[in-house]
Amino acid sequence: MTIQFQKDLVNINDLSNEHIEYLFKVADKMKATIENKEKGVLCEGKILATLFYEPSTRTRFSFESAMHRLGGSVIGFSSTEGTSVSKGETLADTIRTIANYVDIIAIRHPNEGSARVASLYSKVPVINAGDGGHQHPTQTLLDLYSIQLRKHQLKGLNVLLSGDLRFGRTTHSLSIALARFGANLFFASPPGLEMPDYIIHTLKEEYNLTPGIANDIREYIHVSDVIYMTRVQRERLGEMEYLQYRGSYVLTNELLKSAKPDAMILHPLPRVDEISKEVDDDPRALYFEQAYNGVPMRMALIATLLGVEK
Ligand code: CP
């Protein structure tokens, strides 16, 4: 390893731009090992714990796939049922216990700040796999990597983040990272689901970036190099509020007529109804390729935090 990383990845700002560019290079190597069907050995004898207090398909499976592809093993849970959390065990005590059994932990939890708490009680590296409506830094890494692979740059790109920006944790960490790399940001969300003020404030005060803000994707779709859609975060809204927003924005082939011919359409997934299924056949629809990139990027991150990447 040529540059020093912090023990944990909790917040995207735990990584500098240099760290992220380094991870792009390692992910390229990991991608090649997957595509060449090479047997991974870097993490032989190492164990990853995936502690998922909230549902997940991509993040948990791609972390587990990544560790298996590195030659390591995985233990963990996909819900707290069947664990001592259901008997009232605290997060701190669970982490202090699990950290004795494994070499690295990936945790998803409904409470904002939970991954930071976990990192403070863990003697092994902790990776935030999503903490409530706060951040999802490994999603940000694979989002940045997906854009870099196609566009070969981040600086100067026009990136439109659309949908539930209030609770869409992927957009919080992504907007900070994109600002750091010099991208231009545009936010489109229904009234009530706007990007939190603290993010807008941080973008302005720390990165001198004033994002374009609209309630309708039409306002910026024609100038966007990347169109990043997100679903309404039902699990963080009351049912009445969810029903109010459900279906209130949908990306369709008709809307995409005004998009750039080389725009990238991304989505962290799962998709509900905010991207019409007809869009899947558009060559600009890259959200499944994006999800695939989660494996080499998480391989890169695990190997790097464990200090076994050469
Ligand atoms: N993108 C993402 O976090 O998806 P999952 O909820 O399926 O892990």
| pLDDT single digits (tens) 273-298 | 999 999 999 999 999 999 999 999 99
Q: Where does residue 282 rank: exposed (0-12), middle (13-18), buried (19+ CB within 10 A)?
A: middle
Percentage of the chain beyond pLDDT 70 is 100
12-136+293-305 matches 137-291 in fold: yes
Fold of the 137-291 domain: Rossmann fold (3.40.50)
Q: Is 276 exposed, middle or buried (0-12, 13-18, 19+ CB in 10 A)?
A: middle
Q: What is the mean pLDDT of the chain?
A: 97
Distance from the Cα of residue 249 to its chain's centroid: 22
CB 294, CB 138: distance < 8 Å: yes
pLDDT in tens, 128-159: 999 999 999 999 999 999 999 999 999 999 99
Residue nearest (by alpha carbon) to ligand 1 atom 5 = 56
Sheet holding 47-52, edge to edge: 73-77, 47-52, 104-109, 126-131
| 86, burial (CB in 10 Å: exposed 0-12, middle 13-18, buried 19+) | exposed
Asked if residue 61 has its Cβ within 6 Å of ligand 1, the reply is no
Mutate to test the pocket of ligand 1, among 51, 57, 134, 233 (most ligand atoms within 8 A of CB): 57
Protein residue with least CA distance to atom 4, ligand 1 = 58
Distance from the CA of 218 to the center of ligand 1, in angstroms? 26
> Helix, strand, or coil here: 51?
strand
pLDDT score of 1 more than 70 = no
pLDDT at 2: 73
In tens, the pLDDT along 163-221 reads 999 999 999 999 999 999 999 999 999 999 999 999 999 999 999 999 999 999 999 99
Give distance in angstroms: CA of 208 to centre of ligand 1.
Answer: 31
Residue 62's nearest CA partner among 310, 301, 305 is: 301
Predicted confidence (pLDDT) per residue in 58-82, tens digit: 999 999 999 999 999 999 999 999 9
pLDDT interval class at 310 (50, 70, 90): confident
Cα dihedral angle (302, 66, 264, 128), rounded to 10 degrees?
-50
User: What residue segments make up the domains of the chain, in order of their start?
Assistant: 12-136+293-305, 137-291
| pTM higher than 0.85 | yes
Query: Is residue 268 within 6 Å of ligand 1 at its C-beta?
Result: yes
The rounded distance, in Å, linking the Cα atoms of 117 and 10 is 10
- How far does the centroid of ligand 1 lie from the alpha carbon of residue 115, in Å? 16
Residue type, 51: L
The pLDDT of residue 163 is 96
226-247 pLDDT, tens digit each: 999 999 999 999 899 999 999 8
Rounded distance between C-alpha atoms, residue 299 and residue 63, angstroms: 8
Q: Which CATH superfamily is domain 12-136+293-305 in?
A: Aspartate/ornithine carbamoyltransferase (3.40.50.1370)
Percent of residues, the chain, with pLDDT higher than 90 = 97
